């Protein structure tokens, strides 16, 4: 039996535990036939072959979806058969991270391949007014792939600035259909500025149906098109399962939230209405996650029917960790903080033409790595004036190359964190430094800082070297 790392072993054990949990989740689930999940094996690249045509690229983001909110990641009470199937057909990553602990900074890191603190708009945690946004002159995943011959589209949540100064169509996407802000009421489409927030391009688009349904229909239409042999990039950004806690059929509750937004005298009152602190439940949250899973299933079915499935790279992830009703066990922390629960996210990659399925990778990766990877797979070159902070995984995925040794870095106003191998340096909101061995302690409860002061000093110095090259926070 080949030797595997502690992280790989943990991933395999986790996968086996998931199979048992999914079969006994709830009485309702137990009444349904459960597809036995084949055993995962540690990732191994397929033998190199002819590269063939450049792939289409479909990047799907859930919103505030926690690391263990999928049944394939351990949720005992949530059924996600479509995303579980996607994982079986590709690679499930057990140590994948978002670029930050909140929505818009992570989107900056994914769109640019750089730390959020490289640009002024990335300093907002998250973006909350019209003065902040992604500079249209900054190269993006979309603009670089477009330059290389790709058609590009973004459907769903943008959250990198509002009109008139900021828009996906100003930053490299040929088409945009979705919302500019970070949150909206799922039926009325009233968003965080208190105004209507569903657009096609730069024009309002009226549709008062459940938002996840609307986005799914658009995405199905896009992947079903005859693209005339032009490779394409589609960023499909759902708002599900972000609050307010509304599922299909919850129009009455949605109308109550809409009334509060319309009666609001300030943006703070709008935010309180959308935060929906008096609503939601574990059951409602599970319903929302399952609706996300069903939506992804519809899009993947359309992709298969179109004949493009084999040569389409599908990446599924979340923009940050979960909160409130999310299932994050065994991780500590949630959205907004740099503990594992705030930044470790479910991440699945599938490319049938080049990568085998039923695999699990325990390699630590984060959002900017995906940018570098997708650019390389699409034959696009980064702009040398804007060097990437991510490392391409293409060599690892396609040729079995070792990933480059590097530190994963995060900075938010209240926290700092850096991961090197299994070691994680973390500073909490009180300014106290901690050191964790994630290979032995995913829950971050055994603080080894007093026992390993030299290592703590070394990781802290590495964090400060990287931070010294970023923009300071204003104010």
Task: Read off the pLDDT of residues 233-268 as tens digits, 9 standing for 90 and up.
Answer: 999 999 999 999 999 999 999 999 999 999 999 999
Contact of 241 with 63, CB cutoff 8 Å: yes
Token pair recorded at residue 332: 């500590």
Share of the chain above pLDDT 70, in %: 92
Backbone angles phi and psi of 311, in degrees to 5: -110, 35
Characterize 27-36 residue by residue with b for buried, 16 or more Cβ atoms within 10 angstroms of its Cβ, and e for exposed.
Answer: eebeeeeeee
Dihedral sign (CA 192, 141, 133, 164): negative
Dihedral sign (CA 201, 207, 208, 209): negative
Which DSSP symbol is given to 120? G
Q: What is the pLDDT of residue 35?
A: 53
pLDDT of residue 420 exceeding 80, the answer is yes
Q: In the sheet that 433-437 helps form, which strands lie side by side, from edge to edge?
A: 408-411, 416-420, 423-427, 433-437
Strands 359-361 and 41-42 come out as: parallel
Contact of 98 with 317, CB cutoff 8 Å: yes
Backbone angles phi and psi of 364, in degrees to 5: -70, 125
Confidence of residue 25 (pLDDT cuts 50, 70, 90): very low
Backbone angles phi and psi of 234, in degrees to 5: -125, 120
> According to the 3-state scheme, what is the secondary structure of 241-263?
CCCCCCCCCCHHHHHHHHHHHHH
Backbone angles phi and psi of 48, in degrees to 5: -55, 140
pLDDT of residue 28 exceeding 60, the answer is no
pTM of structure: 0.92
Q: What is the pLDDT of residue 258?
A: 98
pLDDT of residue 13 exceeding 80, the answer is no
Q: What is the mean pLDDT of residues 131-143?
A: 98
Confidence of residue 27 (pLDDT cuts 50, 70, 90): very low
| Bond before 126 cis per omega within 30 degrees | yes
Q: What is the pLDDT of residue 20?
A: 34
Task: Read off the pLDDT of residues 296-307 as tens digits, 9 standing for 90 and up.
Answer: 999 999 999 999
Distance CA 111, CA 370 (A): 10
Burial class (CB in 10 A: 0-12, 13-18, 19+), 175: middle
């Amino acid at each position: 039996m080949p030797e595997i790392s502690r992280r790989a072993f943990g991933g395999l054990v986790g996968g086996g535990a998931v199979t048992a949990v999914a079969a006994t989740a709830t009485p309702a689930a137990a009444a349904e036939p459960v597809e036995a999940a084949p055993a995962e094996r540690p990732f191994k690249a397929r033998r190199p072959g002819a590269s063939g045509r450049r792939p289409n690229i479909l990047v799907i983001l859930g919103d505030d979806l926690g690391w263990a909110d999928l049944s394939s990641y351990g949720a005992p009470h949530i059924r996600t058969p479509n995303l579980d199937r996607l994982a079986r057909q590709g690679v499930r990553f057990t140590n994948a991270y978002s670029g930050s602990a909140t929505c818009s900074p992570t989107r900056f890191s994914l769109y640019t391949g750089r730390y959020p603190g490289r640009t002024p708009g990335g300093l907002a945690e998250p973006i909350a007014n019209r003065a902040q946004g992604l500079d249209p002159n900054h190269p993006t995943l979309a603009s670089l792939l477009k330059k290389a011959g790709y058609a590009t589209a973004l459907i769903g949540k943008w959250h990198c600035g509002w009109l008139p100064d900021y828009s996906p169509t100003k930053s490299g996407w040929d088409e945009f259909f979705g919302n500019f802000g970070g949150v909206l009421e799922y039926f009325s489409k009233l968003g965080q500025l208190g105004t209507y927030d569903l657009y096609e391009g730069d024009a309002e688009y009226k549709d008062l149906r459940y938002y996840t349904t609307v986005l799914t229909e658009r995405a199905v239409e896009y992947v079903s098109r005859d693209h005339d042999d032009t490779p394409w990039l589609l960023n499909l950004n759902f708002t599900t399962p972000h609050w307010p806690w509304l599922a299909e059929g919850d129009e009455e509750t949605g109308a109550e939230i809409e009334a509060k937004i319309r009666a609001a005298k300030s943006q703070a009152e709008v935010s309180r209405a959308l935060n929906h602190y008096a609503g939601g439940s574990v059951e409602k949250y599970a319903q929302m996650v399952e609706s996300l899973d069903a939506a992804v299933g519809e899009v993947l079915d359309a992709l298969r029917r179109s004949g493009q499935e084999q040569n389409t790279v599908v990446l599924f992830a979340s923009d940050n960790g979960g909160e409130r009703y999310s299932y994050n066990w065994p991780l500590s922390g949630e959205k907004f903080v740099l503990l594992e629960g705030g930044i470790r996210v479910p991440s699945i990659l599938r490319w049938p033409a080049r990568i085998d399925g039923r695999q699990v990778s325990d390699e630590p990766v984060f959002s900017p790595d995906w940018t570098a990877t997708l650019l390389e797979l699409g034959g696009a070159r980064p702009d040398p004036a804007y060097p990437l902070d991510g490392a391409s995984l293409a060599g690892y995925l396609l040729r079995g190359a070792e990933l480059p040794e590097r530190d994963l870095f995060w900075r938010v106003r209240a926290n700092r964190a850096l991961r090197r191998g299994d070691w994680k340096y973390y500073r909490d909101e009180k300014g106290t430094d901690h050191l964790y061995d994630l290979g032995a302690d995913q829950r971050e409860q055994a603080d080894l800082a007093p026992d390993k002061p030299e290592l703590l000093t070394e990781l802290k110095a590495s964090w400060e070297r990287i931070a010294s090259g970023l923009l300071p926070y204003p104010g």
